[in-house]
Structure 1
């Protein structure tokens, strides 16, 4: 008889909803707790816990009191702030990088230095600590130029400035907001892809790949967001290009983590762009992405609990088996997102539909009487034999929703040839 265990997921958004649901499906798991979780999670058997994700002492206390076998950390700010270090100091297992390793996301400059040190291809770049030097050197990168806040920005701290006037204005605004350092980069061109690597020191497994849609509006217009939709698999990505990403990016990255004694046990997201000169890294994140998690985990046939458990115990990692079915998801967001999202709009009880899953994120109230809580409220997902069929299911569902205080993109999957 298989021993069933309790696990804890830290976070409250759509990413944590998808992680918790996947873990709850494992025959090894008795109960998934999610702190703080959200009101939609009981619909998939996950128990929300009223502890803030920033309350590390409270989370540790809960894990001990409820015999939690290990904890899966979702949000990047918790990782950068050292939640894994605190859990380890308390004698508990937590899946995610230490605070030192989390600097690969916490600081763009740190990540770029890591890439330079270990031969990971990326854009030509430089870091600046003051307005004057950044403005004086902006011309050398050509236009458009990529301007990045150095620290965490929830996926929104990047501006692609089309000309010098916009670039200078952006640099001034970022420093005026209190940024201590900015990164300027050449603007790379080519299709972008999301690769998620599950690491256990020198072992790694690559999860299903996805493509995210960052801009708020159709046609990649509007502000950068945390992500407005995603899909998997990627029919436009050739096997040769995927292998080039592994050989030229993943392998030197893993080598660097081992050589640098990072003892990385967690997920590393690699944002990739396939340029005419080969794959290059746009950025590292030290956790699963949102909204990509919602479309890659349904395609993962391998038990996520078994993968994480093996990684945390330094056991051989199981092979990753992938469901051939396609998955596509579209985010329903509050009007005004990302700059000034509406809060509190009534959503009611969202209808159920065959072949449709709802991953809840920023919602309050109850499943019978939901209200929006700002930002990205939920994701509408479908799995099907092919991407077009999944796409059609999702958009047919959305077309029948009456949510005037919300919006969504109508072109998720267009780069895969969907219409």
Structure 2
């Protein structure tokens, strides 16, 4: 008989909902706690805990008192602020990189230097601490040019400036907004993909890949967001191109982590673009992505608890088995997102539909009487034998909703021919 244990997930959004839900399905798990979690988690047997994700001492006390075997850290800001280090100092295990390794997401400049040092292909780039120098150099990159805030920005600190006037204005605004450093990059052309690597100190497994949709509106228009929808698998990505990503990006990245003595135990997200010159890295994230997590974890047939548990304990990692079914999800966001999302709109109880799941994120109230709490509210998702069937089912569900103070994209999956 399998001895069941308790685990803790840190975070409150749709990503953490999906992680906690998957862990709760494991035969090894007695109870998944999620701090602070959200009100929707009770629908999948996960117990929210009223402790802020920034309250590391409170989380440590809870993990000890509830006999938590390990903690899965969702948000990047916690990782950059050293939650894994604090847990380790308290004699507890947490799945995620330490503060040093988390700089791969915490600083764009740090990540680019890592790529340069270890031969990982990326865009031509330079970083600037001075507004005048950045403006003087902008023409070197051609237009459009990519301008990135150096620090964490929740997936929204990137501007693609189509002309010099826009670039100059953006540079001035970023420095005026308190940025101490920003990065200029050439604008790469090609389809973008999300690759997730589960790492155990140099040993790794690649999880199912996905494609995210960052822009707020149809046709990839509007401002960057945290992500408006995702799907997996990727029919437009050939096996040859995927192998090139592994050989040219994953292998040197993992080798660099070993050579640099990062002792990385966690997830590394690699944002990739497939250019005519081959795969190149757009960015590293040091955790699972949102909304990709919501579509890749349902395809994972391997027990997520076993993967994480073995990774944390430096044991041989099981092979990753993937469900052949397609997974497809669309985010329902609050009107005004990402600039000024409204709060408090009445959602009521989300209707039920066969084969459709809801991963809740920024909601309050109760499952019977939900309210929006700003930003991305929830994700509507499903699995089906084909991407087209999954796509059609999700949009059939969304089309029957009457949520005037919300919006969603109508073209998720277009690059896959849907």
Other structure's SS at 1:40 match: helix
Query: What's the TM-score, normalizing by structure 2?
Result: 1.00
Task: Work out the number of aligned pairs and report it.
Answer: 418
Corresponding residue for residue 109 of structure 1: 109
Q: CA deviation at 1:231?
A: 0.1
Runs of 4+ in structure 1 deviating by more than 3 angstroms, as ranges, are none
> What do residues 84-107 of structure 1 show as CA deviations (whole Å, max 9, x unaligned)?
000000000000000000000000
Q: Output the aligned Cα RMSD.
A: 0.2
CA distance in 2, matches of 1:348, 1:372: 10
Where do 1:153-302 residues align within 5 Å? Answer: 153-302=153-302
Structure 2 gaps of 5+ residues are: none
Say whether residues 1:71 and 2:71 are aligned partners: yes
CA distance in 1, matches of 2:382, 2:16: 18
Corresponding residue for residue 139 of structure 1: 139
CA distance in 1, matches of 2:400, 2:17: 24
CA distance in 2, matches of 1:256, 1:327: 32
CA distance in 2, matches of 1:195, 1:335: 30
Corresponding residue for residue 120 of structure 1: 120
Corresponding residue for residue 313 of structure 1: 313
Structure 1 gaps of 5+ residues are: none
CA distance in 1, matches of 2:150, 2:355: 41
Q: CA deviation at 1:386?
A: 0.4
Q: CA deviation at 1:158?
A: 0.1
CA distance in 1, matches of 2:93, 2:14: 23
CA distance in 2, matches of 1:251, 1:21: 31
CA distance in 2, matches of 1:43, 1:347: 16
CA distance in 2, matches of 1:143, 1:34: 44
Query: What's the TM-score, normalizing by structure 1?
Result: 1.00
> What do residues 334-367 of structure 1 show as CA deviations (whole Å, max 9, x unaligned)?
0000000000000001101100000000000000
Q: CA deviation at 1:202?
A: 1.1
Other structure's SS at 1:244 match: helix
Q: CA deviation at 1:27?
A: 0.1
CA distance in 2, matches of 1:352, 1:163: 47
Say whether residues 1:340 and 2:340 are aligned partners: yes
Other structure's SS at 1:171 match: helix
